[in-house]
Every structure is written in structure tokens, then in C-alpha cells.
Chains A and B, each alone.
Chain A
Amino acid sequence: MMKVQVKARNRAFGFDTGVGESVLYSGLRTGVALPYECATGTCGTCKAKLIEGELDDQWPEAPGRKYLKSDQGEFLMCQCAAKTDLSIEIGNFVSEATPGAVIPAKFTGIVGGSRMLTPDVKAFTVELDRSTEFDAGQFVAVRFPGIGGYRGYSMVNFERRTQTLEFVVKKLPGGGVSEWLFDNEPTGVELEIFGPLGSATFYPGMGKNVLCIAGGSGIAGMMSIFSRGCQENYFADHQGYLFFGVRTANDAFYLDELAAFKAKHPENLHITVALSTEAVTDEVKAAFPGLEFDTGFVHEVAARKMKDHYDNIVAYLAGPPPAVDAAIRTLVLEARLSADSIRYDKFS
């Protein structure tokens, strides 16, 4: 065990860290709410400045390094482990984890099963070595054996306390983990998991209408949010708007599940599948009478249909970074939502 001393903008913290363990994960699991978003090397949010000590950078090519001033000793806490005791500085305000929040921890998981949802989208479940709680909209960092570092996956399911997590992955050419998942039957494979993570969370106490805009596999966290909302009857007296963007009707998935949400609260749920490259056929429309279909990029479709419905709303965004950025632009400039009512975890 080594010691990490953190000097944040507002106060100081200290915690222990193990060999090969990222500085970020060791801080988070001891209840220090260090800044992060993706926790997997791409967003740059967890940058810190090394004052004293030696680091082991486990991913020197991490894309998030482009946000660093490395000549000033800045590093990504999610990718660096301590080789000696460390003294580091963080420019942000840092607090202790909010009382009642689930403190992230390390788990071992076994892949329980997988199924293809479309030719390039696969769902899989993981059984954890013990149960955990998580908030709807959260994700975990997952490390597959022999394929580099952690990747972030949002939970699709929602249960108050569970050992089973459900994920969805899109096949990305050249994506190490996604290619491996599609080329292999992952059932029974043992994974390292750290979480739960992420602040784009939904909880019924907030009492707001809910707008979800998701592209592709970004639908995962939205499924969790709508699951919780339906389980706890939230949509009996709140509006829920969900926009799910895919290229064609053949690329869409979870339509049965979305239709089931709608059937539970037909008055207050409004679910639209946005097809970016084609118009919907009458057959698809007839198969899912509860769902609406539209043509265009998901943020454009959402902007069109949400006009005059932004009252008392919290917006959740997920998906490919260009889609998320376009949705943010619409919500800030056109809908004039305040920044704190737009929730997403930056993965780039």
C-alpha cells in the first residue's frame, strides 16, 4: 500500500492505493469524490498535477491526454498508478462522496449470457461476485481478460439491489473489446469491474419531467432510467420523452421493451425512434403502434417534437460524441435549458 496526498482547490485529502491500481479508482472507492467522467482514459476530466512521487502510466496513448499540459506534470488519474507515495494537486473543488451515495468498488463478474439484438449489436449480462446498488443512468468500468484497460458500459437494467448487470455493445471495427465480444461466445468469461460510476443519474425524488436523447448503444442508460420510472410509477404524474436514434429500422433494438414502457403509461410517455437514413415502412409502424417513428438525426427530430415541452425538464444524453454535442447545442441555444438540467457523461 502507498499513500496519495491530494491538494484540491478547496481542501486536502489522503488515501491509500495499491500496486497497479489507478489513483482515481483508489480515491473513489475510499469515498473521495475525485473529478471524472469516463473513468476510462478518453475525457480528460480526471487530470491532476504530480507534485512529488513516481507514476506508472498504464496507457500513455490514452486519448484524454490531449487535454493535459504534460510539461506541467499533468496526468490522468484514471490511467496512472502510484509507484511510490504521491503528492498531487487538483484544480477543481473536491468533496467527500455525498452521504447515501453508492461508493464504487471492485467486483469480479462472470458473463452470464449474450444475445444478438441486430447484426452489430449484442447484449450480455454479468453476474457479480456480490450484490450492489446503482442509480439508473450509471455505468461501470469493465476489464476483459487480455484486452487492455477498462471500458465503460452503462447498465440497461434497473433493480434496487442486484448481482446481475445487463449491457449492450455495438460492434466497432478495430474496437478491441467489441470485436472480441462479437467473435467469441463470452459466456463464463471472468471480468474485472469497477463501479458504479457516473453522474447522469435519475431518481424519482427529483420530480421533473424526463427527456432522453440517445444514439445507438447510448440507449442503455435510458432503458435503466425508464425501467426505474415505470417500476416506481413515476410516469403516472410526470412526462417522459425518449428519442432513440439509429440509421435504419433494421438497426433498431429494444423496440418491444420500449413499447412495453409505453403500454404502461400511454398518456405520459412519448417514445420516438429516429431513423437517420430512411423513412419507416408501414410494416414496422404496424408492428409497434405505441411507438412513433420519424426521419432525421435524433437531435433534429427531438428539437422538432420537443418545442413547447421543455417545462420543468431534465435532459439525459448519450451516444456517439457528435450526436451528444449536437443535442447539447440544441438544448442550450434553442431550448435554453440551464446547464445543470442537462446530464451526460462525456466519453470523448
Chain B
Amino acid sequence: MQDRTLLCNTNEVPEDGMKQFELDDGTKVIVLRSGDEFYAYDAMCPHQEVELCEGFYDGCVLTCHQHLWQWDVKTGDMMGLAEAPLTSVAMELDGEDLYVCEPVMNRAAVGGR
């Protein structure tokens, strides 16, 4: 069985909203809610050292406020001006709790930096 770490309770993330969490090792993860679905990504913009939670989210599309890079939250794929996808965080839902799985960031999978 994979190692997993409790991230949050689903109630902590507002409907069609987002919230940033920090793991014990300092890794920052952003959790976004779209209806009853939850998605987790590296909390930092793949462009610069900017926290995505400072940006805008309408329940489908996440926009970084710094340079308006945008992503489809369901897939992490880039939209509009973005030049790199979001870095996904492996996560599982257990009852009302969200857990992140090890390794947290699967950076190799996004082929970015």
C-alpha cells in the first residue's frame, strides 16, 4: 500500500473554490473544487514563484494573477497564454478526507522544469 498523508477535510474547500495547504515537509499544495470533484496541484505557478491561490478560479478555469496563465483544472492542461501545465499531485478521497500519496509531485510526468 502507498504511503499517504492527510491533507484536509473536503469541507475546508469551498464549492467551486480553492485553498492552499502546506505539508509537514513544507510542500505547498493547492486543492481546487469543481462541484463535488477535487483536484490537487503544486501550489506554485509553473512560470514564476507565485502562489496560484492568489489568482482567480471560477470552478473550471484557474488563472494566475501574475501573467494570466490559465489551466483547465480537471486535467491541469494549459489554456490561453500558459506555456506549461500544472504539476499534478497524486491524491485520494477517503470518506470526507483528502490524502496526498507519495511521491507528492510527479514532476517527471509533466515534462517541464
Contact = CB atoms under 8 A, between A and B. Distances in A.
Given A44-B49, A91-B84, 11 more contacts: A44-B48, A91-B47, A92-B83, A328-B56, A333-B56, A339-B69, A339-B70, A339-B80, A339-B81, A340-B81, A346-B66
Interface residues of A, number: 22
A338 B69 CA distance: 11
Contacts of A342: 68
A73 B80 CA distance: 29
Most central of B47, B70, B81 by chain A CB within 10 Å:
B47
A93 to B, nearest CB: 6
B58 A333 contact: yes
Contacts of A332: 56, 63, 68
Nearest to B80: A339
Interface in A9-39: 9, 37
B63 A339 contact: yes
Contact of A328 (B68, B69, B81): B68
Most central of A45, A92, A339 by chain B CB within 10 Å:
A339
B78 to A, nearest CB: 11
A32 to B, nearest CB: 17
Nearest to A329: B56
Interface string B78-106: 00110110000000000000000000000
Contacts of A346: 66-67
A299 interface: no
Contacts of A91: 47, 84, 113
Interface string B54-71: 001010000101111110
A45 B48 contact: yes
B110 interface: no
B23 interface: no
Interface of A: 9, 37, 44-45, 47, 66-69, 91-93, 325, 328-329, 332-333, 338-340, 342, 346
A95 to B, nearest CB: 12
A333 B113 CA distance: 29
Please list the 6 inter-chain residue pairs (A to B) with the smallest Cβ-Cβ separation, ordered nearest first: A339-B68, A339-B80, A67-B48, A67-B49, A339-B81, A332-B56
Contacts of A340: 80-81
A67 B50 CA distance: 7
Contacts of B113: 91
Most central of A47, A66, A328, A340 by chain B CB within 10 Å:
A328
Given A45-B48, A45-B67, A342-B68, A93 B56 contact: no
A325 to B, nearest CB: 6
A36 B83 CA distance: 15
18 contacts: A9-B83, A47-B48, A67-B49, A91-B47, A93-B83, A325-B65, A328-B56, A328-B65, A328-B68, A332-B68, A333-B56, A338-B80, A339-B63, A339-B69, A339-B80, A339-B81, A346-B66, A346-B67
B49 A69 contact: yes
A338 B63 CA distance: 11
B17 to A, nearest CB: 12
